[in-house]
Amino acid sequence: MELIISVVCGALLAASFYLLMRRNLLRFVIGLIILGNAVNLLIFAMGRLTRARPPVIPKGQKVLEGAYANPLPQALILTAIVISFGLLAFTLVLVYRNFAANQTIESDEVRGSEPSDTLDVYDETKRLPA
């Protein structure tokens, strides 16, 4: 089953990377969400999959015995899920604010903090500042 999950993860990551590279920032956000799911699934699968019991100690016992699902990746993923929601909300609002200010959700046009365009590097007349 891990093998299938590996393929699923690969497909999700490919989809996510492709969307991240799109011009449209909304597609970027969608890619970000898929990325979160893909990575969580990846961690989950790397902790090995068990169809057996969840990692809950039965009442009356003190230790977990027999086959149980690996609790460590679960704890990692649990926080990661919530954090990625925070990330998503923030990114989404950022995209929205940017749209409100600049009327665009094309990433190539969002260059407010960048130099106007490719710097003119080969200008012979330009001297180095002393």
Partner 1 sequence: MLFAVLGIFLGAALSPLVVRVSRQAAGWILGLLPLGVFVFFARQLPAIAHGETVRQSVPWLPSFNTPLSFYLDGLSLLFALLVTGIGTLIVVYAGGYLQHHEQLGRFYVQLLSFMGAMLGLVLADNIFVFFIFFELTSLTSYLLIGFYHSEEESRVAARKALVVTGGGGLALLGGLLLLGQVTGTLEFSQMLSMGATVQSHPYYLAIFILVCAGAFTKSAQFPFHFWLPAAMAGPTPVSAYLHSATMVKAGVFLLARLSPVLGGTAVWEGTLGIVGGFTMLMSAWLALRYTDLKQILAYTTVMVLGLLTMLLGVGGEEAITAMVTFTVVHALYKGGLFMMAGSVDHETGTRNVRELGGLREAMPWTMAGAVATGLSMAGIPPLFGFIGKEMTYEAALHAESFGMLLLGVSVLSNVALVGAGLVVGLKPFIGERKGAFTREPHEAPVSMWLGPLVLGVLGLAFGVYPALIDHSLLQAAQTGILQESHELHLALWHGFSPALMASLVTFALGFAVYAAWETIQESGGMAALGTAFGEVPGRVFERGLYGLARFSQGITTLFQNGRFRWYLFAIFTSLIVLVGGGLAFEAQLGWPTFEGEVAYYEAALAGLIVLSAIVAVRTQGRFIAILALSVGGYGVALIYLLFGAPDLAMTQFAIETLTLILLVIVIIHLPGIEGEDSLGVQVRDGAVALGCGALYTIIMSTIVDVPLDRRVSEYLAGNSYTEALGHNVVNVILVDFRGIDTMGEITVLTIAALGVYVLMRMPRRIAHEKEPEEEAEENETAD
Partner 2 sequence: MIYSLILRVAVRLLVPLLLLFAMFMMLRGHNLPGGGFVGGLVAASAFVLYALAAGVTRAREVLYVDPQTLLGLGLACAYGAGLLALALGKPFLTGLWLHPHLPLIGDFHLGSALLFDLGVMLVVVGTVLLMVFSVEDRLPGLVEE
Comparison of 21 and 78: residue with beta carbon closer to partner 2: 78
Do residues 30 and 19 touch, judged by C-beta distance below 8 A? yes
| Calpha distance 27→25 (Å, rounded) | 5
Q: Which residues fall within 8 angstroms of residue 86, CB to CB, at 6 or more apart?
A: none
Q: Which of 3, 51, 54, 65 touches partner 2 by CB under 8 A?
A: 54
Comparison of 14 and 82: residue with beta carbon closer to partner 2: 82
Q: Which of 1, 11, 26, 56 touches partner 2 by CB under 8 A?
A: 56
Do residues 55 and 64 touch, judged by C-beta distance below 8 A? yes
- Please provide residue 113's backbone torsions phi and psi, each rounded to the nearest 5 degrees: -100, 10
Binding mask 66-105 toward partner 2 (x if CB under 8 A, else -) reads ------------xx--x--xx--x---x--x---------
Q: How far is CA 37 from the centre of its chain?
A: 8
| Calpha distance 69→35 (Å, rounded) | 24
Site for partner 1 in 6-35 (CB under 8 A): 6-24, 26-27, 29-30, 33-34
Binding mask 111-130 toward partner 1 (x if CB under 8 A, else -) reads x-xxx--xx-xx----xx-x
Residues in contact with partner 2 by CB under 8 A are 54, 56, 59, 78-79, 82, 85-86, 89, 93, 96
